[in-house]
Every structure is written in structure tokens, then in C-alpha cells.
A and B are shown apart, each in its own frame.
Chain A
Amino acid sequence: MTTLKSLMIPHRIVMMALFAALVLWCAVTLRWDWIPKYTPLAMQGLWNTIWIMAVTTVLGFLLAVPLGLAQAIGPWYLSIPARSFCTVIRGTPLLLQIWLLYYGLGSLFPQFPWIRSSELWPYLRQAWPYAVLALTLSYAGYEGEVMRGAFSGVAKGQLETAKSFGMRRFTMFRRIWLPQAIRNVLPTLGGETILQLKATPLVATITVIDIYAVSSRVRSDTFIVYEPLLLLAVIYMVIAGLITLAFKRFEVKLPR
């Protein structure tokens, strides 16, 4: 971590001064008068970005645990499908997956009358369920591979000890195997969560209004190019920094 002392080296002070001057120059000479008008929309977009990221990360992780388990110890009829799922998800661009689900399923569903008359139809007509589904599957695909390594990495002796004490298989999994696997991959999970944050702007291409979509709206409404994009980059950097901090605190808290 950077400490105050490490920042007080002469060349860093000069660099910080230059950076402050740059920020000041941006604040004074660039156009920021559009901000008040778009603040409510931006808040809504920020909220969409954050909840989509959080929900898909949690759901994707829940899906990744069985995927990892199936690859690590499952019989062939479970491990082969799990492995192919991970390969396909990791081998194709996320944008293509999102478009396949949104345009493909979206054009398929209306053909069935019973779907159109069901309770779910009002949701299926919107874009966000497809965005959430695509991002969840993507996170699960990448994370399933990580969890496979994590499950195989837990020391065998511990599992054998648990078994010899007559612990039931599910209890053993819940109390010993899963916690240690998660602890081992926590740094990787932090990195993957930031990758998930960086994947969220893709949902703007299927009309979900996230923070990226708001900046595109500003650009097309006002023809101001750089200012919204710079602000957007700063917002993403702040969120990524917060995620890193949260995972660091989490890692410190866990016993090693």
C-alpha cells in the first residue's frame, strides 16, 4: 500500500502538483455545464451498474461452486458438460453472448402464446433479465475454472480427517472444503469482480440504462465528446478502487 511517506519523495510531489494542475485545467477550460441536467439520470445509471454487477457476481458465484465441484471430483457425465460450458463461455466474446441471448431468445419467446400470456412476460419484454442472465453465465464460466483449482487445492489430509471423524459429506463440504477453497482464491475473486465491473458497460448495447449509457446519451445530445468519457473513466476507477479495498479488508479479517 502507498503510505504518506512514500508519496513525499521530491519527484512524486512534482508529479502530484502537475496532476493537480491538470485537474484544475480540466475543471476550468472543459465544459461541465451539462452535469446538473444529467445528474438524476446518472444516479439511476450508476445504481443500475452497481446492482447488475453485484447481483450477477453473487449469482454467478453460486453457479460456479457446483461447476467447479463437478470438474474437480464429479463423474464424467457431470465433469464433461461443466468443462465444455466453461470452455464455450471463455472462448467466445461476452458481447456475442449478450446479443445471442437478447436478440435470439427475445425473438424466440414471442412465438409461444403460453409465454406471452404468462406472469413473466412483462419482465421478459425488458432488456435487463437478458443482461443479468448473460453476465451471470459469463461470471460462472470464468469462476467455475477458478473454483476447480480451488477445490483441488485444499489439502487431502483435512478432508480425510473429517471423514474419519464420521462427518457427513455435506457437513464436510460446508464446514471444511468450501471455506478453505474460498479463502485460497479470494485475491483472484477480487480481480474477477473488477473484470465483471468492466463487463457491465456492454449491457448498454441492449438498451439497459447503465452509467455508460448515460455518458453516451450526453455525448449524442450535446456533442461534447471528452468530458463525459473522462468523468466515466474516473467513476469506474473509483468503483474499482472500492472493490479492491473491500476485498483487502475481507482478506485481512479472515484467519490464515
Chain B
Amino acid sequence: MELILETLGLAESAKLLSLSPPGWGANLLRGLANSLKIASGAFGFGLLIGLFGAYGKLYGGPVLRDLLAIYTTVIRAVPELVLILILYYVGTDLINQASSAMGYGRVEISGIVAGIWVLGIVQGAYSIEVLRGAILAVPPGQIEAARAFGMPPLMTMWRVTIPAMMSFATPGLANLWLIATKDTALLAIVGFSELTLETRQAASSTRAYFTFFLAAGGLYLMVTLCSGAVFGRIEKWARRGQPSLREDRG
């Protein structure tokens, strides 16, 4: 193994990337774990906003609908970086004011929670649109049938609408998940030690920029490709029992 690396001229890079302390591999992996934690939290939080937002946009009153339209338009027109800064400052300010009002001192907010809050709000705007489209694609007869049998609205949502819309929502949600993983890189600018920031610190203290940035790129790419495979499985599962779109229905 070492001989192969030596002949390829990669021995230096391998040493820099090794997992034990002189190497920076452990730092990169810790950053990756942080990135994935924030991405999955934000994705989940975004889905929650998206589900309620989509229902609000479809069945809510005129005021709620207009407010949600403003939310989705504004979030999608302003760069994520600017939104992250605004939401970060607003979030910390609100929490600190609340804690001082209750008589506690300044609260130190963990990077992960702040990242999830900030990216979740951004993701929510996109999720609303994806889920709204998916709910609209569910044949209305199915929802009407549930209603005709006296199913309460929440149970209809849980048992009929969500399973039926899964196959329409999965491609869009897969895209959103990829955006979430890539957007975590933006948190580097606010100083959260996720993968990109860890990489930059490792690179600037060793001066081996190409090694570290390419390694981090490889890690991100691995996440992307694995997620693609996983979402492909989920879509197949969500489509079970439906006629295939590609082949003839024979």
C-alpha cells in the first residue's frame, strides 16, 4: 500500500490526510459529520414548514395564502448567504432578548442549532412549492373518498395524502436535500466548523490547498452520489403499485 502511494507521488498527501493527529483526516470527517447533521436537521425542519405551508397555500384563507406567497417569493429572490446572515442575527437577538427578559444572561447558541434554524427557514420556502405541486397531483377522488368515510383531516393527511403524494414529491425533495448539503458550506462564512471551513483551516495551515480542497470535494461528491442512489430507491418504493411511466402499460 505504502509502495503504491510512494510511486504515485501521493505519499505526502496521504500523510496529510491520515486520521491520526499529524494528519487532518479526522478534522475533515468531523466537519463532514457536522455538515450532515445540519443538512438533515435543516431538511427535516424545512419539510415541516413545507408540509404546513403547502396545506396553508392550498386550503388556507386569503390572508394566509398571501403571507405564504410573500415568504416563498422573498426567500427565493435573496441570496442564501444574505438570508443566513439576517436569520442568524435575528435568531440570536431574539433568543438573547427572551433570556434577558426572563432574567437569564446571554445565551451562547450552538452552531448546529443555529445552522438548522437558518437553513431550515430557507429550505422551507422551496419545500412548500415542491409539496404543493405534489399534493395537487394526487387524484382528488382519493381525498374525497377519505372525507366521505368521515376520516378526520389529520388522519386523511397521514394515511391518504402523504403516501399518495410521495411518488410525485420524491424527485423534488431529492433535489432539495442536495441543495441542503451544499448550502451547509455557506455556514463556513458565519464561522461554523463544518466541512468547508475545516478544510480551509487545514489547507491554510499546511499550505496543501489542492490536496485538502480536492479531498473535501471528493467527500461532498460521495454524499451526492450516495444520496442519489438512496433517493432512487425511495422513489421506486414510493411508486410501487403505480404503472411505470416509461414503458407501455401493455
A residues at B contact (CB < 8 Å): 9, 11-12, 15, 87-88, 90-97, 99-100, 103-104, 107-108, 194, 197-202, 205, 212, 225-226, 229-230, 232-233, 236-237, 240-241
Question: How far does the Cβ of B43 sit from chain A's closest Cβ, in whole Å?
Answer: 16
Chain A, residue nearest B223 (CB) = A91
Q: Is there an interface contact between B185 and A93, defined as CB atoms closer than 8 Å?
A: yes
Q: A95 — which chain B residues lie within 8 A by C-beta?
A: 185-186, 188-189, 196
Interface majority SS (helix, strand, loop, mixed), chain B: helix
> Apart from A90-B224, A237-B74, what are 9 other A-B pairs with CB-CB below 8 Å?
A11-B66, A88-B221, A92-B224, A95-B185, A97-B217, A100-B209, A104-B209, A194-B76, A198-B80
The answer, yes or no, to whether B220 is at the interface (CB within 8 Å) is yes
Q: Please judge, given known A-B contacts A91-B224, A200-B79, A205-B189, whether A103 and B204 are in contact too, CB under 8 Å.
A: yes
Q: Is there an interface contact between B213 and A96, defined as CB atoms closer than 8 Å?
A: yes
Q: A241 — which chain B residues lie within 8 A by C-beta?
A: 77
- Segment among B81-89, B96-104, B141-149 that sits at the interface with chain A: B81-89
Question: How far does the Cβ of B234 sit from chain A's closest Cβ, in whole Å?
Answer: 19
Chain B, residue nearest A12 (CB) = B66
B residues at A contact (CB < 8 Å): 62-63, 66, 74, 76-83, 85-86, 89, 178, 182-186, 188-189, 196, 199-200, 203-204, 207, 209-210, 213-214, 216-217, 220-221, 224-225
Chain B, residue nearest A236 (CB) = B78
- Jot down 27 A-B pairs with beta carbons below 8 A, ordered by A: A15-B66, A91-B220, A91-B225, A92-B182, A93-B182, A94-B182, A94-B185, A95-B189, A95-B196, A96-B185, A97-B217, A100-B217, A107-B207, A198-B78, A198-B79, A199-B79, A201-B82, A205-B189, A212-B82, A226-B86, A229-B82, A229-B89, A233-B74, A233-B83, A236-B79, A237-B74, A240-B77
Q: How far, in whole Å, are A104 and B221 apart by their CA atoms in the complex? A: 19
Q: Is there an interface contact between A236 and B77, defined as CB atoms closer than 8 Å?
A: yes
Q: How far, in whole Å, are A198 and B82 apart by their CA atoms in the complex? A: 9
Q: Is there an interface contact between B203 and A103, defined as CB atoms closer than 8 Å?
A: yes
Q: How far, in whole Å, are A201 and B178 apart by their CA atoms in the complex? A: 20
Q: B89 — which chain A residues lie within 8 A by C-beta?
A: 225-226, 229
Q: Is there an interface contact between B210 and A100, defined as CB atoms closer than 8 Å?
A: yes
Q: Is there an interface contact between A93 and B220, defined as CB atoms closer than 8 Å?
A: yes
Contact of A103 among B66, B86, B213 (CB under 8 A): B213
Q: Is there an interface contact between A15 and B63, defined as CB atoms closer than 8 Å?
A: yes
Q: How far, in whole Å, are A195 and B99 apart by their CA atoms in the complex? A: 38
Chain B, residue nearest A234 (CB) = B78
Chain B, residue nearest A241 (CB) = B77
Q: A12 — which chain B residues lie within 8 A by C-beta?
A: 66
Q: A93 — which chain B residues lie within 8 A by C-beta?
A: 182-186, 196, 220
Q: B221 — which chain A residues lie within 8 A by C-beta?
A: 87-88, 91-92
Q: How far, in whole Å, are A201 and B84 apart by their CA atoms in the complex? A: 12
Q: Is there an interface contact between B220 and A96, defined as CB atoms closer than 8 Å?
A: yes
Q: How far, in whole Å, are A90 and B220 apart by their CA atoms in the complex? A: 10
Q: Please judge, given known A-B contacts A11-B63, A198-B79, whether A100 and B196 are in contact too, CB under 8 Å.
A: no
Q: How far, in whole Å, are A194 and B86 apart by their CA atoms in the complex? A: 20
Q: How far, in whole Å, are A201 and B78 apart by their CA atoms in the complex? A: 11
Question: How far does the Cβ of B77 sit from chain A's closest Cβ, in whole Å?
Answer: 4
Q: How far, in whole Å, are A160 and B2 apart by their CA atoms in the complex? A: 57
Q: How far, in whole Å, are A91 and B182 apart by their CA atoms in the complex? A: 8
Question: How far does the Cβ of B139 sit from chain A's closest Cβ, in whole Å?
Answer: 27
Chain B, residue nearest A243 (CB) = B77
Q: A230 — which chain B residues lie within 8 A by C-beta?
A: 86
Question: How far does the Cβ of B192 sit from chain A's closest Cβ, in whole Å?
Answer: 13
A-B residue pairs, 10 tightest by C-beta: A93-B185, A91-B224, A100-B213, A198-B79, A240-B77, A104-B209, A93-B182, A103-B209, A91-B221, A95-B185
